[in-house]
Amino acid sequence: MLLSIQNLKVAFRMGRVNGEMVRAEAVGRGGESVSFDVPENSTVALVGESGSGKSVTAMSILNLLPKNAERSGQVLWRGKNLLEATPAELRALRGAEIACVFQDPMSSLNPVFTVGQQLVETLKVHLSLSAKAALARAEQLLQEVGIPEPARRLKAYPHELSGGQQQRVMIAMALACEPKLLIADEPTTALDVTIQRQIIELLASLKARHKMSVLFISHDLGLVGEIADHVVVMRQGTVREAGTTAELFSAPKDPYTKALLACRPSLDHNPPRLMVIDDYIQGRAARTDSKAKDPAAPVVLEVKSLAKSFFMKEGLFGKREFKAVRNVNFKLRKGHTLGVVGESGSGKTTMGLTLLRLHEPTSGEVIFDGKNLLALSAAERQLMRRRIQIVFQNPYASLNPRFTIGQALIEPMRIHGIGKDDRDREQRARELLVKVGLDGRAFGKYPHEFSGGQRQRVAIARCLSLNPEVLVLDESVSALDVSVQAQVLNLLKDLQDELGLSYIFISHDLSVVRFISDEVLVMKDGEVVEQAGVEEILHAPKQEYTRKLISAVPKGWQGAAA
């Protein structure tokens, strides 16, 4: 057995209260512990929601945990207990025999060093190669992970690469010393479906070529079903179920595993509401009521020939034009949702930001309430802005960490003159928190005291504080695990039914887009290549590019088996 985790427990020291040390159990709660094996030349997936303990379990292997962590049990690497290894022994293992690929490559890659410098450093430290030999090997590694023009990319800085290319560089660094175990911690979460597909296919081919094992951490069972041989399902720091991928997908035994499978949006069927994990486990049926859409509802937003270019310096006096958005046209009806899909770099986010003049447009019109938003003065734009709001992808970055939740909700109302006074605004803020599924206790807390899903609910409440008519939702659920994602999507549908909101829903996940959208806009290289109703797009796509996006959606074990 390559790796065997036996009776693992991890707790974090939180400080002393009344002279006694307080510990927060992260792995192995309530007297239970975590045990599983990773055989040679196999892929084992750790699956569960945020906070289930999967990343803490994986990081315990090489002790990549904060100093306040306490571990017990055994982590046997080829029979040797790594919990007893010295720092020098762990340093020798890291990168050489056990390597890691993390979720966010931009926080893992050093922004002031080129890709080549970072790869060469790894090769020099672990393999003692000369500078010339290390550079040649670095170029081979970039070629092996499928990066075009590897010699030129060695001189590039991380910010000059796309998200998928950055993740490939991280995989190249991890493979530099040909490790026997690769720990991949949510390596595709923030990537679009086609890049995600490329990364998991790359990992599978590299695993076979190098005869290595992979510990793959994810919250997406559909993705896991296509890459893993064995699956370990975790919840609240304990193992709920473990077995082969075929067993787990064809006959799951634990209610939590069944709930994870049931909560995912699907391309095959479209329920009025998504099942939430707690509802499934407790046997509560999902609501089936949904307000019918009026196909003749009035148009609230019309976009005509919208274009956005960026200009970059070229040479001493020249400049080069990059057309990020070209000739986009669509109409959005009251109470309807327009889904916007496409790969990274397709222009969908730039289009959404240009609508709101967070990017200044190059040309075109955005007609709202009979006025062209792109031609308004600053004062007119301020009055109109409260009626069209945006929810960003990252709730961790879009909320001010120095503001309480109450301050974050009251500030926009104060700026736009909503409410008679701060007392009236506070009452409205508290009502909004209840409306988005939080309670009054959230009002005085800070963003860091909430999970990602709760922060996204706060961001939605902040938008609603201004009584908007249109919401632009930019990848607003892409970083959330399946259960929280289901809660937020259900909330958005409920708010639309209750308030008649219109949504522009930007996403790379077609299964999510199918659940929430009435019409879909497919973008590629800044242009709209296809536009139709959601069912027509999914079942009768006209463009090869659209078919490619649909085929890239993870379909789980049956999809992999097929």
Find all residues with CB under 8 Å of 308, minimum gap 6, and list them. 323, 324, 325, 347, 350, 351, 354, 359, 360, 361, 362
For the record, the structure tokens of 290 come out as 């949904």
- Domains identified in the chain and CATH numbers: 299-561 (3.40.50.300)
Per-residue pLDDT tens digits for 462-487: 998 998 999 999 888 876 777 778 88
pLDDT at 178: 86
Residue whose pair of structure tokens reads 């992808």 in the numeric block = 393
In whole angstroms, give the CA distance from residue 300 to residue 281.
Answer: 41
CA-derived radius of gyration, the chain: 25
pLDDT at residue 386, rounded to an integer? 86
SS3 394: coil
Number of Cβ within a 10 Å radius of residue 537: 26
**pLDDT beneath 70, residues of the chain:** 190, 285-289, 479, 556-562
The tokens describing 461, both together, are 């409440």
Q: Quick one: pLDDT at residue 288? A: 67
Q: Alpha-carbon distance 164 to 161, whole Å?
A: 8
CB 158 within 8 A of CB 111: yes
Q: Which amino acid is present at 145? A: V
Backbone angles phi, psi at 77, to 5 degrees: -105, 105
Q: Any idea of the CA torsion for 418, 424, 426, 427, to the nearest 10 degrees?
A: -120
Helices of type H across 326-415: 348-355, 378-385, 395-398, 405-415
Copy the structure tokens of residue 391. Answer: 């929810």
Question: Can you read off the two tokens belonging to residue 494?
Answer: 């409920």
SS3 content of the chain, % helix, strand, coil (to 5): 40, 25, 35
Contact by Cβ (8 Å): 425, 419 = yes
- 304 by Cβ neighbours in 10 Å (0-12 / 13-18 / 19+) ranks as middle
Among the residues of 176-250, which ranges form H helices? 193-210, 221-227, 245-250
CA distances from 381 to 352, 378, 410 (A): 16, 5, 21
**Given this model, what pLDDT does residue 27 score?**
93
State the first-to-last Cα distance of the chain, in angstroms, to the nearest integer.
30
143, exposed or middle or buried, with CB in 10 Å at 0-12, 13-18, 19+? middle
**One-character DSSP codes across 482-495:** HHHHHHHHHHHHHH
Q: What is the pLDDT of residues 358-398, one digit of tens each?
A: 999 999 999 998 899 988 888 888 888 889 999 887 777 78
Strands (E), 294-392: 299-314, 318-333, 337-341, 363-368, 371-372, 388-391
Helix (H/G/I), strand (E/B), else coil: 137 = helix
Query: How large is the angle between the packed helices 163-175 and 115-127, nearest 10 degrees?
Result: 10
Q: What would the two tokens of residue 211 be?
A: 């005869």
The token duo for 132 is 């010339």
- Non-local (6+) Cβ contacts of 396 within 8 A are 447, 452, 455
Task: Look up residue 556 and give its two tokens.
Answer: 């789980």
- Tell me, what's the pLDDT at 559? 46
Q: Give the span between the Cα atoms of 171 and 183, in whole angstroms.
A: 10
Taking a C-beta distance cutoff of 8 angstroms, is the pair 251, 463 a contact?
no
* pLDDT (0 to 100) of residue 562: 39
Q: Buried b / exposed e across 409-442, counting CB within 10 Å, b at 16+?
A: bbebbeebebbeeeeebbebbbebbebbbbeeeb
Between CA 52 and CA 56 the distance in angstroms is 9
